[in-house]
Amino acid sequence: MAENTENSQQACDGNCSSCASSSSCTDPNKKSSGIEKVDISVKHIILVLSGKGGVGKSTVATNLAMSLANKGYDTGIVDLDIHGPNIPKMLGVEDRRLESRDGKTIEPVRLTGKLGVVSMAFLLPDTSSPVVWRGPMKFTAIKQFLEDVNWGDMEYLIVDLPPGTGDEALAICQLAPNIDGAVIVTTPQDVAVLDSTKAVKFVEQLDLPVIGIIENMSGMICPHCGDEIDLFGKGGGKKAAEDLNVPYLGSIPLDPEMRKAGDEGRPFVVRKSGDDQHQATWEKVDAVMDNILKQIKQ
C-alpha cells in the first residue's frame, strides 16, 4: 500500500488545472484554484467529527442542530456519513424523501420551520441498502448536498461527518465556505482519546479552528443505588483538551434516556424529563451546546 501511495504521489505533477481528477481530488495539499468553494448563503458552518466510531458523534450533532433551531436560528444539518447515515433515524424522519421543486433544486426535509436536514438515507431504496462508492462519487454527492439544496439564508449548518479523517472530511473542508471550526467528540477511555487527538491534529493541519472537545458517555448514575459509575473512565477528554491547548466544552453522562431519544427520533434536548437524574443530564447537554455557541461568538 505504501508503494502504491508513493507511486500516485510521484505521478502528480502539481498542475491541478490540467489534472483529469481535479474535480474529485481530496488531497489537502491541492492548489486552491483546483476546487472552488460552493456558493451558499450560510453564516456559520460547524463540523462534528471524531477519530473513531461509537462515541456519540451523531447524537451530539442532532442535539446541537435541534438546540440551535429551538433558539430561533435557521439551521440545517447535513449527514455526510455516506455509508452509514443515521441522522434521519435520530430525528424521526427516516421515512421521508428528498424532493425537487424545479428538477434541479433539492428541498431539505423539514422537521420544523427552523430545521432542515439532508442525508443519503433519503435517497436509498430502504434502510438496509448499502452505499458502495469510492471517493469521487462521494465528493460529487457532498457538493450537491451543499450547492444544489435550497438551504435559503441560513445561520447555522451542522455537518455530521463519519469517523476518521478521510474523503468526506477533506471534501467538506475544501468545498464549504464560512467554516467556524470543528467540534471533536470522544469518550473517556484511552483508545478513544488517542483517536480524538488525531482528529484535532487533522483539523489544525487544514488550518481550521478546533471549537473544542466534548467528553461523551462520561460517567453513569446507577438507576438502582444512585452512585456514579465510571463505566468508560472519566476525564480523558478534558485532559486531551488541556494537552492539546484547545477548549474543553464539557461532559455528557451515559444515560439510558439518551439512547432512547436517538432510537425514538426525538433529540434529548427536547425530552425534558422530570426525573432528577435525567434532568441533570439534560442540563449538562444544554451547557455543552451553549459552550459551543460561546466559542463560535468569541
> What residues are designated binding site for ATP?
51-58
C-alpha cell recorded at residue 62: 442532532
What is the 3 state secondary structure string of 122-189? HHCCCCCCCCCCCHHHHHHHHHHHHHCECCCCEEEEEEECCCCCCHHHHHHHHHCCCEEEEEEEECCC
Using CA atoms, how far residue 87 sits from 98, 179, 263, 266, in Å, is: 14, 20, 11, 11
Task: For residue 183, give the nearest of 46, 296, 45, 44 by alpha carbon.
Answer: 46
Residues making up the binding site? 51-58
Q: Which three cell numbers stand for residue 125?
A: 431504496
- Cβ proximity of 153 and 70 under 8 Å: no
What b/e string do you get for 118-139 counting C-beta neighbours within 10 Å, with b at 16 or more? Answer: bbbbbeeeeeeeebeeebeebb
